[in-house]
Amino acid sequence: MVYFVGAGPGAKDLITVRGLELIKSADIVIYAGSLVNPELLNDCREDCKIYNSAFMTLKEVIETMEEAEHKQQMTVRLHTGDPCLYGAIREQIDMLKERKIPYEICPGVSSFCGAAAALSAEYTLPGISQSVIITRMEGRTSVPEKESIEAFAAHQATMVIFLSAGMLLELQQRLLAGGYPEDTKAAIVYKATWPEEKVCFCKLKELAKTAEEENIKKTALIVIGEVLGDVYEYSRLYDECFTTEYRKGRMLDENQPD
Ligand code: SAH
């Protein structure tokens, strides 16, 4: 059995209870060494075999899982954040399916959630944005033309940009070209939830300069949007006049005592 486990954004105690239990009972752990907090491996069994996938190819990862399966051993494949985002799990899953090796996925706290916590931000503020666009600049992996930064920027929704901290001048220019005003609120969150976390607020037009001043080149998320500002509307859910499934709203009448 293979478990794909989300390790969380960095802090050792931000893995799920289920994920930690799986690590504790694993015979084999293959972890994404570039970003997974190695302290999570302290909870492995003493006889657990640990592999760092940063040094492995897809073929080697699958062979390791296959060998473990033949010995009826349990493998944990530990991915950073939640495996559903830029985790390259689909290709592993398909290869496991071909080999009839059973698998399951245990979700994790994605770094975009860790970053929101670091920013004290709500990405979906009434009156400002009710959508979050998660995307990246193209690197070695291409991004479909119809998902260009410019096309997404035209919505002026909240945007969280992964894997792009080394290309911030280009990112800034393309976000501006797409339609965000140059004073749009922006933030760079470096290593969210790690002890060395750094949070920088700026305006979109200062994005590249801010990262340069702070010497941030990788392991960062870029958040764009007016949800980082101070103007918004209160939620209707908790409005005293608003009736919900659970609570009857009050008719506000000037003659009615409070
Ligand atoms: N599956 C992961 C993302 C992996 S892609 C998740 O859900 O978070 C790797 C990219 O994620 C990095 O280049 C960086 O942009 C971002 N990232 C991962 N951990 C981070 C953290 N703690 N703080 C800021 N960005 C992080």
| Residue 62 sits in the same domain as residue 156 | no
Across the range 102-116, mean pLDDT stands at 98
Give the model's pLDDT for residue 237: 83
Ligand 1 pocket: which of 221, 223, 224 to mutate (most atoms within 8 A of CB): 221
Residue that terminates a domain, selected from 91, 106, 121: 106
Beta strand spans in the chain (E): 2-6, 28-31, 49-52, 75-79, 103-106, 132-136, 158-162, 185-190, 198-203, 220-224
| Residue 63 sits in the same domain as residue 117 | no
Structural domain count of the chain: 2
d(CA 231, CA 185): 11
| Residue 39 sits in the same domain as residue 64 | yes
**Strand, helix or coil for residue 48:** coil
| Residue 52 sits in the same domain as residue 137 | no
Whether residue 92 lies inside any domain: the answer is: yes
Close Cβ partners of 40 (under 8 Å, ≥ 6 residues apart): 7, 12, 15, 20, 23, 31, 78
d(CA 173, CA 131): 22
Question: 31-89, pLDDT tens digit by residue?
Answer: 999 999 999 999 999 999 999 999 999 999 999 999 999 999 999 999 999 999 999 99
β-pairing verdict for 185-190 and 49-52 = unpaired
Domain, as residue range, for 27? 2-106
User: To the nearest whole percent, how much of the chain has pLDDT over 90?
Assistant: 88
Whether residue 235 lies inside any domain: the answer is: no
Close Cβ partners of 111 (under 8 Å, ≥ 6 residues apart): 9, 10, 80, 81, 162, 192, 193, 221
| Residue 93 sits in the same domain as residue 53 | yes
Beta strand spans in 100-241 (E): 103-106, 132-136, 158-162, 185-190, 198-203, 220-224
Residue 100 CA to ligand 1 center (angstroms) comes to: 31
pTM for this one? 0.93
Cβ of 113 closer than 6 Å to ligand 1, yes or no, is no
Give the model's pLDDT for residue 246: 87
Give the model's pLDDT for residue 258: 54
Residue that terminates a domain, selected from 106, 127, 148: 106
| Residue 39 sits in the same domain as residue 136 | no
Q: Is the pLDDT of residue 256 over 80?
A: no
Residue 7 CA to ligand 1 center (angstroms) comes to: 11
Please tell me which residue, 34 or 227, carries the higher pLDDT value. Answer: 227
Close Cβ partners of 229 (under 8 Å, ≥ 6 residues apart): 128, 185
| Residue 15 sits in the same domain as residue 97 | yes
Residue 73 CA to ligand 1 center (angstroms) comes to: 30
Residue whose pair of structure tokens reads 């495996």 in the numeric block = 83
Give the model's pLDDT for residue 35: 95
Q: What is the CATH number of the domain that holds 45?
A: 3.40.1010.10
User: To the nearest whole percent, how much of the chain has pLDDT over 70?
Assistant: 97
Ligand 1 pocket: which of 40, 105, 216, 219 to mutate (most atoms within 8 A of CB): 219
Residue that terminates a domain, selected from 87, 106, 125: 106
Q: What is the dihedral of CA 201, 160, 9, 102, to 10 degrees?
A: 180
Give the model's pLDDT for residue 219: 97
Whether residue 71 lies inside any domain: the answer is: yes
Give the confidence band of 254 by pLDDT, cuts at 50, 70, 90.
Answer: low
Mean pLDDT for all residues in the chain? 95
Q: Which of 151, 102, 106 is nearest to 7 (CA)?
A: 106
Provide the terminal-to-terminal Cα distance of the chain, rounded to the nearest Å: 60
d(CA 240, CA 251): 9
Residue 246 CA to ligand 1 center (angstroms) comes to: 37
Give the model's pLDDT for residue 240: 84
Q: Which of 78, 100, 70 is nearest to 26 (CA)?
A: 78
Residue 9 CA to ligand 1 center (angstroms) comes to: 7
Q: Is the pLDDT of residue 257 over 60?
A: no
**Ordered DSSP codes for 174-204:** HHHHHT--TT-EEEEEESTTSTT-EEEEEEG
Give the model's pLDDT for residue 255: 53
Q: Is the pLDDT of residue 244 over 70?
A: yes
d(CA 11, CA 40): 9
DSSP secondary structure letter of residue 230: S
Give the model's pLDDT for residue 239: 85
Q: Is the pLDDT of residue 155 over 90?
A: yes
Whether residue 52 lies inside any domain: the answer is: yes
Taking CA atoms only, the protein residue closest to ligand 1 atom 4 is 86
